[in-house]
Amino acid sequence: LTLDDLRFLWAWRFRPGEMTLGPREAAFTYQRFMRIMAKKGYRKPPSQTPREFAQGFERTVLSWPVGEFTRLYNAFRYGRATVSLLDLRRLLERIKNA
């Protein structure tokens, strides 16, 4: 891990306010999402896109938070939109607790 990686991990856990994501932070955040989903028994096949994976949760309690997390991730990753760490953190908490 680099110093930037450690700063992000610190911010992820302890920073209460806003922080926008860069490419590395987005990757860490998606990895965290995948770990949470794996603990719930869901694994994304390598051949599936994030959107396809999220669509598998339609009509479940995870539909909205997984769909919204994926929408924000894709907007940042592929659309270069600004995404809030706080929003993603809240969604991941909701997913984790569902």
What pLDDT, in 10s, does the model give residues 12-59?
665 655 666 666 677 778 888 999 999 999 999 999 999 999 999 999
pTM: 0.79
Counting Cβ atoms within 10 Å, is residue 8 exposed (0-12), middle (13-18) or buried (19+)? Answer: buried
Confidence of residue 82 (pLDDT cuts 50, 70, 90): confident
Average pLDDT, the chain: 83
Confidence of residue 87 (pLDDT cuts 50, 70, 90): confident
Residues 72, 69: Cα–Cα separation, whole Å: 5
